[in-house]
């Protein structure tokens, strides 16, 4: 109990006398963790170490203290404290580092709670109550992380193991999506579908959610555009292989039997959560994930968010005033990717094209609506493109825009089949891909659509 009570003093004593301890912990200890004379002495020690890259002596601290403009009572207390810490304690260094980490976390949480109270009381000028969950989360995440970089020579064995370790991925049931992602989506990533209104953003995400369920994966689907029941309806149509309009016409016993059949097929668990448009942010999503884990023992393997542009930011107030759309949407994307890292899952979301991109048959990154900061943050971004000719063929064109998993010029464009009535996507015959596969240059036009038996029934298609 005494060590905990005296810990700030022991920390300062070892910062002054124990070089190993000082160099290991000084990057993580903040001045706001200390009060009064302890803060003053901490500032003196860290100021000297930062300037001279060596530990100060007691005499140096006393000289530096005389230059301080602190109140007399703090100066007197600080002088007594410097005298007290002049001799090193006999506490084991490793033990003290662990105790210091716990103390710093406790102080960070205390400060976070006080900051949160100020926000609630309206005393903060630049933060809203939406920032409170992140403030508390950051405080709880205080850690003395000793990893300070990858040494090219010394860490070569770890690098070799990394090259030969198969990364966990959640595969698609669509061949070309697996090809461009090297087998599926890895954890801690943000993946974005870009499409115009009505092209199939929600259909794509509902199909992929259904596919993940069939692999036994747990899925959380967050919707801010459609009701929970509408999302579940789309996934019903996909898993039951029924046109969506027939769902309202089948009787209860048939519906129950189909649900029972799905339930017995080693399917994962699906939770669909609806939020008002523009009202929810990562603070709400984090609270939902923690609540699901506590109340339902549910931890998702994949999260779908429908869709990014109608989320809110937990760090910034809504657009208006000094906040522009670029900054605001980029902030949302960064927060979602941070959430993916925090909960070790892939997140899939979508964004709208611009007005010009809506009628463009060769969508590019510049057609991302509201913020070019979104593609800068995403790990994978692809466009979903539909035209009258593609609709007649029952196909959807996919164009890679950004890819951190693979070479984005390989399979730059490809098509997938689409059955809108059953909310399904499927692989098409290879002949439909042949002309597309010859094009690996982003801006090179594609001459023809592909060989079909009924090729003469439609006009030559250009992209």
The answer, yes or no, to whether residue 364 has pLDDT greater than 90, is: no
Across the range 387-401, mean pLDDT stands at 90
Residue 9: predicted pLDDT: 92
- In this prediction, residue 318 has a pLDDT band, given cuts at 50, 70 and 90, of low
Residue 356: predicted pLDDT: 55
Which pair of tokens denotes residue 368?
Answer: 């991302």
Q: What is the pLDDT of residues 47-70, one digit of tens each?
A: 999 899 999 999 999 998 988 888
The answer, yes or no, to whether residue 5 has pLDDT greater than 80, is: no
pTM: 0.64
In the three-class reduction of DSSP (H, G, I as helix; E, B as strand; rest coil), residue 208 is classed as helix
The answer, yes or no, to whether residue 443 has pLDDT greater than 60, is: no
Residue 358: predicted pLDDT: 52
Residue 146: predicted pLDDT: 61
Q: What percent of the chain has pLDDT over 70?
A: 86
Provide the Cα torsion 50, 52, 58, 59; round to 10°: -130
Q: Which of 193, 199, 204 is nearest to 359 (CA)?
A: 199
Q: What is the pLDDT of residues 106-156, one digit of tens each?
A: 999 999 999 899 889 888 877 888 788 888 878 887 887 766 677 888 888
169 CB-near residues (< 8 Å, 6+ apart) = 181, 182, 183, 184, 185, 186
Residue 226: predicted pLDDT: 86
The answer, yes or no, to whether residue 444 has pLDDT greater than 80, is: no
- Vertex 113, ends 323 and 75: CA angle to 5°? 105
Residue 440: predicted pLDDT: 42
Mean pLDDT of the chain: 84
Per DSSP bridges, beta strands 380-385 and 395-403 are antiparallel
Q: Which of 114, 112, 119 is nearest to 137 (CA)?
A: 112
Which pair of tokens denotes residue 444?
Answer: 């090179």
Orientation of helix 282-296 relative to helix 132-140, angle to 10°: 60
The answer, yes or no, to whether residue 449 has pLDDT greater than 60, is: no
Q: Which of 404, 399, 403, 401 is nearest to 416 (CA)?
A: 399
| Structural domains of the chain sorted by starting position, each given as residue range(s) with its CATH number in brackets | 2-140 (1.10.860.10), 169-457 (3.40.50.300)
Neighbours of 141 (CB within 10 A): 10
Question: What are the start-end ranges of the E strands in 353-456?
Answer: 380-385, 395-403, 413-419, 424-426
C-alpha 410/C-alpha 412 separation (Å) is 5
- In this prediction, residue 452 has a pLDDT band, given cuts at 50, 70 and 90, of very low
C-alpha 313/C-alpha 341 separation (Å) is 17
Q: What percent of the chain has pLDDT over 90?
A: 46
Residue 226: which region, alpha, beta or left (left: phi > 0; alpha: psi -120 to 50)? beta
Across the range 44-48, mean pLDDT stands at 92
Neighbours of 163 (CB within 10 A): 7
Q: Which of 142, 227, 194 is nearest to 380 (CA)?
A: 194
Q: What is the pLDDT of residues 259-270, one digit of tens each?
A: 888 888 878 999
Per DSSP bridges, beta strands 270-274 and 185-186 are unpaired
Question: Lowest-confidence range among 25-34, 47-56, 130-139, 181-190?
Answer: 130-139
């Amino acid at each position: 109990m005494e060590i905990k009570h005296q810990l700030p003093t022991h920390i300062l004593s070892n910062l002054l006398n124990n070089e190993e301890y000082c160099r290991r912990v000084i990057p993580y200890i903040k001045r706001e963790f200390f009060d009064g004379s302890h803060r003053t002495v901490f500032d003196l020690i860290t100021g000297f170490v930062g300037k001279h890259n060596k530990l100060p002596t007691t005499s140096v601290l006393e000289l530096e203290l005389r230059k301080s403009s602190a109140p007399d009572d703090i100066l007197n207390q600080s002088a007594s404290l410097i005298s007290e810490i002049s001799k090193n304690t006999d506490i084991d260094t490793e033990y003290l580092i662990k105790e210091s980490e716990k103390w710093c976390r406790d102080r960070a949480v205390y400060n976070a709670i006080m900051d949160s109270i100020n926000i609630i009381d309206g005393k903060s000028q630049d933060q809203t109550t939406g920032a409170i969950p992140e403030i508390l989360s950051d405080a709880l995440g205080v850690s003395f992380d000793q990893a300070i970089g990858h040494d090219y020579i010394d860490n070569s064995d770890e690098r070799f193991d990394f090259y030969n370790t198969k990364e966990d991925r959640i595969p698609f049931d669509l061949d070309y999506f697996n090809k461009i992602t090297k087998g599926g989506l890895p954890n801690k990533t943000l993946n974005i579908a870009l499409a115009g209104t009505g092209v199939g953003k929600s259909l794509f995400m509902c199909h992929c959610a259904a596919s993940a369920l069939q692999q036994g994966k747990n899925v959380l689907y967050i919707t801010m555009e459609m009701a929970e029941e509408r999302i579940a309806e789309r996934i019903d149509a996909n898993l039951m292989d029924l046109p969506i309009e027939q769902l309202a016409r089948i009787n209860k016993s048939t519906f129950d039997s189909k649900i029972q059949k799905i339930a017995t097929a080693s399917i994962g668990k699906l939770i669909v959560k609806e939020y008002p448009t523009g009202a929810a942010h990562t603070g709400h999503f984090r609270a939902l994930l923690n609540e699901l884990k506590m109340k339902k023992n549910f931890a998702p393997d994949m999260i779908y968010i429908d869709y990014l542009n109608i989320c809110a930011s937990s760090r910034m107030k809504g657009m208006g005033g000094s906040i522009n759309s670029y900054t605001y949407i980029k902030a949302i994307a960064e927060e979602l990717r941070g959430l993916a890292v925090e909960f070790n899952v892939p997140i899939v979301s979508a964004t709208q094209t611009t007005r010009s991109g809506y009628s463009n048959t060769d969508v590019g990154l510049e057609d991302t609506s509201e913020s070019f900061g979104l593609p800068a943050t995403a790990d994978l971004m692809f466009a979903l493109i539909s035209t009258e000719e593609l609709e007649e063929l029952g196909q959807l064109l996919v164009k890679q825009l950004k890819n951190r998993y693979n070479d984005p010029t390989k399979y730059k464009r490809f098509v997938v089949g689409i059955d809108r009535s059953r909310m399904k996507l499927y692989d098409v015959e290879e002949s439909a891909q042949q002309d597309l596969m010859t094009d690996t240059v982003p801006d090179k036009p594609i001459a023809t659509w592909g060989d079909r038996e009924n090729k003469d029934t439609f006009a030559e298609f250009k992209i």
